[in-house]
Chains A and B, each alone.
Chain A
Amino acid sequence: MADIFSIGVSALQTFSRQLETTGHNIANVQTPGFSRQQVELNPLAHIGGRGAGVEIGNIQRIFDGIATDQMREAASSQAEFQTYGSVLEGMESVLSESSSGFNFAVNDFFDAINDLANDPVSGSARQIVLSKGEELVNRFELLSGHLLQEENSLNQQVISTVDQINTLATDIANINGAILLASGQGAEPSDLLDERDRKLHELSQLIRIRVTDQGDGTLNVFTGSGQVLALGQRSFSLGTQQGQFGQNSLDITYAGISIITSQLEGGELGGLLRAGQEAIGPELSELGRIAMALVDTVNALHNQGLDFQGALGGDFFSRPEIQAKQLASNTGSLSLSIDVVDLGALQATDYQIAVNASSQLLITRMSDGATTNLGSGAGPFSFDGLLITLDSGTADPGDRFLIQPGRDMANGLKMLLVDPDQVAAAAVISGSAGINNRGNGNLSSVRVTDVANAAFTTTAGALTPPLAIRFIDGSSYELLDNTNPLAPLVLETAIPYSAGGDLFPTPGGIDHGYQAQISGAPQGGDIFSFAYNSNGVGDNQNALALAGLSSSSILEGGSESFLGAYNNMLAELGNRVFSAENNLGVFTALYNQAESRRDSVSGVNLDEEASNLLRFQQAYEAAAQVIRIADSLFDTLLNAVGNR
């Protein structure tokens, strides 16, 4: 009879625990990451098999390890593309055609020059060229400023993400310790396990992780590339530092020493790093490349023109020089200087130069990682349109340099012209056919090739000496010093003439820094003379040539105009955003699927809990009846004994 009591009591205790657990489940129906719990029941029996009631086993945590792993994996990718995509979308809206105003600024500038070509003496047309030039410089500065700002805020986010990663790694190590302690006491610490899973999940949203089970209840956590973040109860931290060449982009360090930036991926951190490497950096380089091309071509042409006052056109814009940064740890004394020699070959990327054991310079193009051995010569070396000159000093093996050609260009442009009269719209040289020429030879455009030639520099505002050519007959001519047109001096004679061929440099090597061609058939005695285009204010030849730059293909080996390159950059950015969105969709679907699987197993279903409540309540009441029956049996027995 005492057995019936104890059986009843064991059942009562068990069912009340089951009701408690059901209540716990219901209470946590909205708790993220909560795994529903179930009470394990074991029947009790005496030796010999007679039943002795029920015993509470473990409070079991219903858990699907594979689904949880899948969720973490998908969460890493999802967070990566989410972060990456949103940074890029921000850039897209800043750089896009309609909001950046870049296209308008470039077009306006060249349109202003075109209008000047239509009306070269107009002071207002000149003024507009200046103000549009100023606007173009501002636009470059504004856009690159946006990108740099974006990069700085990205760096801030990287720093705070790394902090969060470190905090989570510490938390996980601590929970590992608590779980170890609890498991030692025999009970499965369900809620601690849930807590750790939540932390792991949060961590996987920040960076891709791998998790291994130690078998004693603790988990080890590694980055995707194998750096330990948590090992049992110990945690290890990541750090950030400025780029090793002193550049603006951050490096991630591990355990305070090794740089692991390039190894990390996944999660918010992966997305941030990727956005910096794949978008902001290249975009700055491209913007800078366009700026360089524009400045250099406009300057080169402008130098070959004549301004309103009759002076040679100076530089229109200025741009910063390309700097070679070096490691603080370089032991050699080599310093490099970098010039642009071929705009068409220029690429929108960074380069690293490393000195190997045999003192050869290895240059690596960062966009595709291709490395070229420049050898150990004295240089200068020409690579991708850059001229790399070894200025002074010697390099030691292991020294490294960073070249970021376009990076600081766009925000370092300046407009050099201050006076509208300084816009060089006219050609420097006016060529003319002698008034008594009998042939139908025509002097086609005269092109300046070198304004540093003594012909231009000896006396400002004049050619020294002015030249003329006089045809001896239809097939040969002589070159004259035309200082005194009445008695010209012969400089070189019997120069063979071929229609349309360059007149300079002559076979005798006379080169005065300009070229000209004659078309048609001149006759003996015909004279063509070249003079400085003094007062040639109505000449628009240089303005026409400058205006033509807007559509001329200068970049990418002569296949891309300034705006073409910009639009390609935008399209590539658009492509990246597009594929980031697609990837985000895919990984979100994967995540939802894994989460659904996890929830299906571990999530709380209120209907189920309601029916459990009813079941356990009934069972509880039944167990209470058992005790009541036992009690009444006991009373019956007592009464029987007492009546006697």
Chain B
Amino acid sequence: MRISNQQFIKSALVAIQDQSAQLAITQTQLATGMRLTKPSDDPSASVKSAGIRQFLSQLEQFDRNTDAAAGHLALQDGLLSSLSDLLLKARNSVIQAQNGINDTSALAGLREELTQNLDQIINLANTQDSNGEYFFAGSKSLTQPFFRDGTGQYQYAGDSYERELALSKQRRITTGISGEQLFMRLETGQNGLESNHNPANTGTGLVGETLVDNPALLTGDQYSINFTAADTYDITNLDTGALVASGVPFVQGGDILFDGVRLDLGGVPAAGDSFTSGPAQVQDIFTSIQGFIDSLVGQTMVTTDLANSANRTLENIDQAMERMVTEQARLGGKRVAVDDVRDANATMRLQFQTSLSEIEDLDYVEAASRLSQQSLALEAAQRALARVQNLSLFNFI
């Protein structure tokens, strides 16, 4: 084949340019540590890596959310513990107030103690975080949730909203507890039932536990137990007006049974005394404690009336404490869940980072050996061109 001089040089140049281009790619790869530097290097891999980076960026945000959630939950956990402690103190004060040896000053002291205690509970219920947000105000978090209005009623200015945070794409977790749930929406009595004495009673009848004897028989109606004599009573359904039982003999230490309810009535009622029993009401814990504080006013000794009030107050405090325990348990569960999600996110991040690295990171060993091969090839092409250039018949003429 005939070869022209231009052909010689051109084909050598093409080879050198090709080699230089390859070398430049390897050089860029080594300099950046990346196998892929732009989408066209490997379009399908670039879609994958962009997707993974997107996931990683979301995970980063979810980590921040998880931290925020963990912080909120930890603070609330602390608050609930303190509240439980205060409720326990209040409970002890109420139990002490039942002690028959209390005199005027002892009862006044206990009243003072309980008043302080209630103040502390309200203060805690109105706790604000570093942003000035009230913990237990629901969505109205910049409005003080608990206060006593002009008529002495305890009011809740918040709502039942509980804030959620997104821990992952699928998982949301409530990080707030509404004050309504914690303090306001509390049942009185026990087991959904509440029994009371009549303050005008003259006997020493003391209403103890109200139990469900047979759930199937419960009516949800209000009943009145009227002692016709010290040892005989009638039971009337106040809603229907029906006389449920009459002339039932009262056994001291025994229970009173009617329509699925078992009422433990202690002490000795007098003729004309009456008691009521019916479905539990909803009452906030502040009103419950405040009610007992009010009933201590001017008391010189522990009356049957006071002892009965104390029993009701204890029931209400127990309900509140149980609510605290339940919420603390929920909180603990959530904290575990947050940790789990955090761990899962971390695992996922590691996996994603590994696959990202597999897709776009450079194999240095391979690249380095490629670099030396390519520079060798380039040098060879350059030398060949220089050598061939010198060959000319004119050198010999």
Contacts and interface: CB of A to CB of B under 8 A. Distances in A.
B5 A29 contact: yes
A599 B165 contact: no
A343 interface: no
Interface string B1-27: 111111100110010000000000000
A534 B53 CA distance: 40
A100 to B, nearest CB: 11
B295 to A, nearest CB: 24
B6 A604 contact: yes
Nearest to B132: A121
Contacts of B5: 29, 603-606
A538 B106 CA distance: 44
A606 B397 CA distance: 12
B282 interface: yes
Which of B53, B54, B184 has the largest number of chain A CB atoms within 10 A?
Answer: B54
Contact of B142 (A30, A96, A538): A538
Contact of A571 (B46, B132, B139): B46
B44 interface: yes
B159 to A, nearest CB: 5
Nearest to A537: B142
Contacts of A37: none
Contacts of B172: 544
A114 B65 contact: yes
A538 B165 contact: no
A596 B9 CA distance: 11
Contacts of A36: 4
Given A536-B140, A538-B139, A435 B282 contact: yes
Contacts of B69: 118
Contacts of B57: 103, 107, 111
Interface stretch (A199-207, A268-276, A562-570): A562-570
B39 A544 contact: no
A382 interface: no
Interface stretch (A49-57, A426-434, A455-463): A426-434
Interface stretch (A344-352, A399-407, A479-487, A610-618): A610-618
A608 B394 CA distance: 10
A581 B21 CA distance: 13
B392 A607 contact: yes
Interface in A527-571: 533-541, 544, 547-548, 550-551, 563-564, 567-568, 570-571
B7 A603 contact: yes
Contacts of B65: 114, 117-118
A610 B392 contact: yes
B139 A430 contact: yes
B131 A122 contact: yes
Nearest to B396: A610
A122 B161 CA distance: 18
Contacts of B392: 606-607, 610
B40 A536 contact: no
Contacts of A536: 138-140, 159, 161
Contacts of B169: 551
A573 interface: yes
B99 interface: no
A121 B54 contact: no
A183 interface: no
A53 to B, nearest CB: 28
Contacts of A122: 131
Given A97-B53, A119-B131, A121-B132, A570 B139 contact: no
Nearest to A613: B397
B1 A600 contact: yes
A571 B47 contact: yes
A29 B44 CA distance: 48
Contacts of A607: 392-393
A537 B140 contact: yes
A538 B159 CA distance: 11
A109 to B, nearest CB: 11
A436 B187 CA distance: 9
Nearest to A34: B6
A600 B4 contact: yes
A32 to B, nearest CB: 8
Contacts of B132: 121
Interface string B247-291: 000000000000000000000000000000000011000000000
A544 B139 contact: no
B164 interface: yes
B161 A538 contact: yes
Contacts of A563: 50, 54
A595 interface: yes
A577 interface: yes
Interface string A84-110: 000001001100110000010001001
A567 B47 contact: yes
Contacts of A121: 131-133, 141-142
Contact of A92 (B14, B39, B58): B39
B184 A114 contact: no
Contact of B43 (A547, A571, A596): A571
B394 A111 contact: no
B336 interface: no
A570 B50 contact: yes
B180 interface: yes
Which of A533, A568, A599 has the largest number of chain B CB atoms within 10 A?
Answer: A599
B323 interface: no
Interface in B114-142: 131-134, 137-142
A92 B7 contact: no
Contacts of A544: 164-166, 172
A592 interface: yes
Which of A110, A115, A578 has the largest number of chain B CB atoms within 10 A?
Answer: A578
Contacts of A613: 397
A539 B161 CA distance: 7
A601 interface: yes
B163 interface: yes
B143 interface: yes
A538 B138 contact: yes
A426 B61 contact: no
Contacts of B61: 107, 110-111, 114
Contact of B397 (A114, A538, A604, A614): A614
B185 interface: yes
A574 interface: yes
A157 B140 CA distance: 62
Contacts of A262: none
A421 to B, nearest CB: 12
A538 B68 CA distance: 15
A632 interface: no
B166 A433 contact: no
A30 B132 CA distance: 84
Contact of B58 (A433, A551, A576): A551
B143 A119 contact: no
Contacts of B54: 103, 107, 563-564, 567
A535 B140 contact: yes
B38 interface: yes
Given A435-B184, A571-B39, A600 B3 contact: yes
15 contacts: A107-B61, A121-B132, A430-B138, A432-B160, A435-B184, A537-B142, A538-B140, A538-B163, A551-B58, A574-B46, A592-B14, A599-B4, A599-B7, A603-B4, A613-B397
Given A536-B139, A550-B58, A567-B50, 16 more contacts: A30-B6, A92-B38, A107-B57, A118-B69, A122-B131, A537-B141, A537-B142, A540-B163, A567-B46, A570-B39, A574-B42, A578-B43, A601-B2, A603-B7, A604-B5, A611-B393
Interface of B: 1-7, 10-11, 14, 38-44, 46-47, 50-51, 53-54, 57-58, 60-61, 64-65, 68-69, 131-134, 137-143, 159-161, 163-166, 169, 172, 176, 180, 184-185, 281-282, 392-394, 397
Interface of A: 29-30, 36, 89, 92-93, 96-97, 103, 107, 110-111, 114-115, 117-122, 426-427, 430, 432-433, 435-436, 533-541, 544, 547-548, 550-551, 563-564, 567-568, 570-578, 581, 592, 595-596, 599-608, 610-611, 613-614
